[in-house]
Amino acid sequence: MEDQAEKLREIMRQKKNTASPPAGAAKSGASAKVSAKANEKMRIITVTSGKGGVGKTNLSVNMALAFARLGRKVIVMDADLGLANVNVMLNMIPKYNLYHVIKKQKTIREILVETEYGISIVAGASGFSQIANLGEEDRKDFIGELDTLSNADIIIIDTSAGVSSNVLDFIAAADDAVIITTPEPTAITDAYGIIKIIATEYDSLNMGLKLVVNRAKGAAQAKSVADRMINIAGQFLNLKVDYLGFIYDDISVQHAVLRQKPFMVVDPKCKASICVQHIVERMDRNKPGEPRGFGAMMRRLFRPSSSETA
């Protein structure tokens, strides 16, 4: 965890050195351009984790389906820029993906594809490891591209696990940053590592951090994992983390993954599906309070951190 924390701090130091002015003061570039046409109602939800393989893509896709069933227009964006998963989970091979956006050959809107499940996806760029090392300007341009999706009600961003500038940008930009862990000690430790960095670097922001415990044996186990993390975050980081809910360890998830369909579709009554439905109902009841959406996102993203303003 220490290594990961140090790596993140280094990234944040680099970000600060090349930081752009806050969006309000921006005269040029993506932030100034996009804030003018922001859809303040659009809700941006990131799903992230410290450790890989804990259930981000399953949660992102199935949460999107549950929101769609509530009548929301939802886009899932696969921001795992090294190993795309979302399209694999949905058995789709889109012709274009984020690689083409990063290379400025396509816009995000042009690569958006509808699925048979009532949600749209932006496919990730598998095997394009260079994206992990995108420069500051390219990253900003890329995030600026999200503005073209502003007719959606909700964008769910499935990030890669762990630490990178891209992930941090997305987390900083989100209305709701969902951190997912399993009850495994290594997953908990890594999730706490991410929360700690967010707290350290963005303490002036109300991040709307939310915790989901995946692959739990039951409510009691999940609650005890969540309570521990939330107490530590409150006590040592002075950071409020909300417990959003848990998902059962459920063989139906594995079956659905093998069939390359969302478990909410294959088995809408399975334990995991019911849990995701509860999580989404809770999120839908607790909408972000202050004006959000793209303009707000850009302001959050390009606002100086507390140490810069101090």
Ligand X SMILES: Nc1ncnc2c1ncn2[C@@H]1O[C@H](COP(=O)(O)OP(=O)(O)OP(=O)(O)O)[C@@H](O)[C@H]1O
Question: Binding residues for ligand X, per CB under 6 A?
Answer: 49, 52-58, 80, 85, 161, 214-215, 247, 249-250, 253-254, 257, 272
- Helices 219-237 and 185-201 sit at what angle, rounded to 10 degrees? 30
**Binding mask 85-104 vs Mg ion (x if CB under 5 A, - otherwise)?**
x-------------------
| Cβ-proximal residues to 237 (8 Å cutoff; 6+ apart), any chain | 195, 196, 199, 200
Dist. CA 102–CA 98, nearest whole Å: 6
Span from 10-18, 68-76, 79-87, 256-264 in contact with Mg ion (CB under 5 A):
79-87
The binder of 155, among ligand X, Mg ion, none, by C-beta within 5 to 8 A per type, is none
52 binds, among Mg ion, ligand X, none (CB under 5 to 8 A by kind): ligand X
Q: How far is the CB of 113 from ligand X (least distance, A)?
A: 19
Buried b (16+ CB within 10 A) or exposed e, 103-117: eeebebeebbeebeb
The dihedral over CA atoms of 64, 107, 98, 11, expressed in degrees to the nearest 10, equals -100
Q: How far is the CB of 60 from Mg ion (least distance, A)?
A: 8
Min separation Cβ 156 and ligand X, Å: 12
Residue 87 interacting entry, from ligand X, Mg ion, none, C-beta within 5 to 8 Å by type: none
Bridge partners, 108 (sequence order): none
Using the contact rule CB under 5 A, the part of the chain among 33-41, 50-58, 126-134, 241-249 near Mg ion is 50-58
Nearer to Mg ion, 51 or 300 (CB): 51
Contact 149, 112 (CB under 8 A): yes
215 binds, among ligand X, Mg ion, none (CB under 5 to 8 A by kind): ligand X
Close Cβ partners of 166 (under 8 Å, ≥ 6 residues apart): 79, 81, 131, 132, 134, 139, 159, 160
| Shortest distance, position 283 Cβ to ligand X, whole Å | 18
Least Cβ distance, residue 78 to Mg ion (angstroms): 8
- Give the whole-angstrom CA distance, residue 235 versus residue 44: 28
Q: Which does 186 bind (CB under 5 to 8 A by kind): Mg ion, ligand X, none?
A: none
- Residue 249 to residues 142, 159, 182, 213: CA-CA distances in angstroms? 35, 22, 9, 10
165/214 with CB nearer ligand X: 214
Q: Which of 57, 126, 150, 181 lies at the binding interface for Mg ion (CB under 5 A)?
A: 57
- β-pair partners for 242: 210
Q: Which residues pair with 151 in a beta bridge?
A: none
Q: How far is the CB of 157 from ligand X (least distance, A)?
A: 12
- Determine, following the binding rule CB under 5 A, whether residue 60 of this chain makes contact with Mg ion: no
| 262 or 295: CB nearest Mg ion | 262
46 counts as binding Mg ion under rule CB under 5 A? no
Distance CA(77)–CA(157), nearest Å, equals: 5
User: In angstroms, what is the minimal distance from the CB of 31 to ligand X?
Assistant: 29
Residues at the contact surface with Mg ion, assessed by CB under 5 A: 56-57, 85
